[in-house]
Structure formats: C-alpha cells, structure tokens
Amino acid sequence: MSKEHESIANLNHEKEALLEKDRAHMWHHMSPFNPNPMIVTEASGSWITDIDGNRYFDGMSGLWCVNVGYGRQELAEAAYEQLKQLAYFPLTQSHVPAIKLAEKVSEWLGEEYRVFFSNSGSEANEVAFKLARQYHHQNGEPGRYKFISRYRAYHGNTMGALAATGQSIRKEKYEPLSPGFLHVRPPYCYRCPFHKQKDSCNLECATTFDEVINWEGAHTIAAVIMEPTITGGGVIVPPDEYMSKVKEICEKHGVLLIVDEVICGFGRSGRKFGHQNFGIKPDIVTMAKGITSAYLPLSATAVRAEIADKFNEPGANQHFRHVNTFGGNPAACALALRNLQIMEEEELIEKAEELGKVLRQELTALESHPYVGDIRSFGFLAGIEMVEDRATKEPAAPEKVTKVIAECKKRGLIIGRNGDTVPGFNNVLTISPPFSTSREEVQMLVAVLREAFDTL
C-alpha cells in the first residue's frame, strides 16, 4: 500500500471511530437521528472544512451568528488574555469587561440602557419577560402579565420563550407552556392574512395589536415582543411603517415593546440593530449570537434606564431577583467588546449593507423560476419562498426544498430553511452569510443556487 493510500485509510478509520462515538454519545440539536453527520474540523473566513477535507461556503453563518467570519485570531487572543487575568466572577458584583461591554451596547443602541447579561437568546428573552412583569407590578399595575407575539415568530426554546414563539411544530409534545402569551397574525405581505393588496393595505397587521389589547384589556398586557424581521420563521419582512405603528400602539396603552435582536442585531440588517432601520426606540432589546460572532456564549437584555431605575427603589423584593451563573463571563465580554471594535474598525456593518444589496440583486435571476414564489431580504439575509405553483402559491413539497439544500451542499454551499415551524409552510430557504464574504463569493453562492434549482 502506498503512503497516500495508507494515509487515506487511516483518516477513514479515524472518521469511522468518531462516528461510532457520535452515535453512542451525542444527541444532535433539532435533527432527526442521523448516523452519519458531517464532522466539521476547521473554518476560516466564510468557509468551513469537514473531516474529509471538503470545503463548504457557510451561507448561514453557522446559525445566523458568525457575523465577522471564522478564524479571527484577535477574538481568540482577547478571550485568552482575559482568561489569564480573570477567568470568572459572578455579576452579583462586577468586573471590567462587563462594564465596558455594557457601555458599548448602550452606545450602539443610541440611548442610555442598563444591560443584564446571560448566555443565549432564549435566556435573554426570559429575562425580558420577568423584567416586564415586575416593572408593571412595581409601577402599580400588577395585572399586566400578558405578552403579545406573532405567529411564525421564534423567540427561543425555554418554556417562556417557546410560549412566545408562534410556531406550532416547535411546541408539539411540550405543552402546556407558560401561560399569558397571545399571538397575532404576522406582517406577511406575500400571503397577507388580512387578504389585502398593496394598494388596499391599511397596516391591518399593525392595528391588530390595538384590537387585541382592547379585547384583552390594556390593564392585562405587559409587553409586545417582536423581531424587526421574522427570521427563522421564514424571513418575513414588514412594511416600512409597521414597527413605528406598533410602537405607537404600545405607547397609547402603556405596553412595553421588547425587540428581539438575537438575529437581526450586530450588523445583520445593515445597521447596528435591526429596529434602527425603522427609527424606533424599544423599551427592552434582547440580543445574542452576533454579539460575540458566536465565538463564545453570551447574550444581553438591554432595558431603558428609566425602566431599570424602578428596580433600584427601596422596599422588599424590589430588586430583580434573577441570577445567571455564567452570564457575562469575563472572557465572553472581553471577546464581545473586541468583536464590536472589529466591526467598527473594518466598517463591517456598512459592508453588510452593501453585500445585502448585491445578494438581493443577484437573486433576481431566480425570480422567474417556476418553483420560486417570493424572494425577501433584510440587510445581509434573505429568504426564498418555494412554491409548487406561482399562481396558487401552494407551498413547495418538502422533497423539493430538501433537494435544493442537498444539491447546494454537493456543490460546496451550506444554506438553511425554516424547518420545524408551521405545518405545510416549511418552504423557505434561508441565506445569512458572514460579513467576511466577498462580492465574488455572493455571486458564487447565487450561481450554485441556480444550478440547484435547475435540478428540480
């Protein structure tokens, strides 16, 4: 046997040994049982490499999160230096990286916020729900305990965040969940739930919040929670006036507005935060993923200063009685701060905005495809809604959606879909590349997509 063949044999043996251990000990996220998962071994820029040496362009930034791209030595060094100096201390007190990062987050939000650190987007939203209920209680309105979310939206997988989620498949076999969560129809222009066309739209998707608040009783509503664009639920982009109208309705009724920026934040929308595209100032902003570009776990719940100050008043149990052992870990905070500095120094948010325009322009080549019903984009993310028939808008069969994804992977491209959301409507392909992507790589991505569609 030649040395080359011997090396290949050794690699195959190593791979099979790892797969056997994977089958025996691993439980994969979100996936049906898969005896042969791809084992990723390294990554750089916008590309990942598997154990067989195959390279793939990561068109989803992992799970919408590796914003600045893979292999950033500066981020590893920031964490390493902090781990040597102070590896851990709970935020029942304080430490320098958390202080500096909280200041930076407030600066990016453009207003004075108080920041509570956790580890994940789900946890950040749980914090927001508890804060909102306690705030109203301490403000003399203890009956405000309900939250209004939207169908198709995803807000996390813990019991409160999942209750806020408007995706029935995610909830199946886990209910009953936390009580007090209501849902309204989404701003889904392609399949308008109010049966309106553009020339007859009166923003019913926004004014429905006013109706529900009145029907439920404003004295029972604590907050509305929404992403600037529904991302994992199908990249559902609202009309330009939508968020400002919802904010106006919230203010009218004394209801807090929680904006979930877990995916849309940190440059993904072409702005620092997605809601800044719509000119509003939320009461509470939740964030994760891009805050560290996924290099370490970290999330944050930012609360307007005048709301947070209510928790500093004297009295029994007036403080926020919530603790998170690892939330705001010093290394994660130091890394996050360096991550935001890199975005500023390299103008990556402006780059994301420009790449988003390039991506949307390139995707026009698919608009006339018989299995493409709608293409939607928000900054540097996009969704392609697949249909069986463009006239009837019948959602594409799951086999067609998975075939496009598989054909892309064969050609070295990883894309996503809105999986496990709503029965019959898991038909949206999702694209969300790292900001390290070049214009030529965007063009390559769309060229591969076109080839994949041509196999249908």
Residue 337 lies in a domain: yes
Is pLDDT above 80 for 11?
no
Given 297, 318, 345, the domain boundary residue is 345
CATH number, domain at 278?
A: 3.40.640.10
Question: For 209-215, what is the mean pLDDT?
Answer: 98
Are 62 and 77 contained in the same domain? no
Are 229 and 297 contained in the same domain? yes
pLDDT at 364 (0 to 100) = 98
pLDDT in tens, 117-159: 999 999 999 999 999 999 999 999 999 999 999 999 999 999 9
Question: For 277-298, what is the mean pLDDT?
Answer: 98
Residue 199 lies in a domain: yes
Given 318, 345, 372, the domain boundary residue is 345
Are 125 and 91 contained in the same domain? yes
Are 315 and 169 contained in the same domain? yes
- 76, two tokens: 């590893």
Is pLDDT above 90 for 27?
yes
Are 224 and 101 contained in the same domain? yes
Residue 177 lies in a domain: yes
pLDDT in tens, 439-450: 999 999 999 999
Query: Per-residue DSSP letters for 182-230?
Result: EEE----GGG-TT---GGG---HHHHHHHHHHHHH-GGGEEEEEE-SSB
- The number of domains in the chain is 2
Are 339 and 260 contained in the same domain? yes
Are 121 and 232 contained in the same domain? yes
Residue 8 lies in a domain: no
Given 304, 320, 345, the domain boundary residue is 345
Percent of the chain with pLDDT over 70: 98
Residue 29 lies in a domain: no
Beta-carbon contacts of 47 under 8 Å, excluding residues fewer than 6 positions away, are: 55, 56, 57, 58, 70
Residue type, 232: G
Are 48 and 128 contained in the same domain? no
Are 105 and 229 contained in the same domain? yes
Residue 30 lies in a domain: no
CATH number, domain at 54?
A: 3.90.1150.10
In which band, very low, low, confident or very high, does the pLDDT at 12 lie, cut at 50, 70 and 90? confident
Residue 176 lies in a domain: yes
Helices (H), 173-280: 204-216, 242-253
Are 48 and 95 contained in the same domain? no
Are 194 and 182 contained in the same domain? yes
- 288, two tokens: 């994760």
Contact 127, 322 (CB under 8 A): yes
Is pLDDT above 90 for 8?
no
Residue 211 lies in a domain: yes
Is pLDDT above 60 for 395?
yes
Q: Give the helix/strand (H/E) hosting 146.
A: strand 146-150
Are 135 and 159 contained in the same domain? yes
Residue-averaged pLDDT of the chain? 96
pLDDT in tens, 299-323: 999 999 999 999 999 999 999 999 9
Q: Give the domain extent around 325.
A: 73-345
* CA triple 110-360-149, angle to 5 deg: 55
The answer to pTM > 0.75 is: yes
CB atoms under 10 Å from CB of 322, counted, come to 15
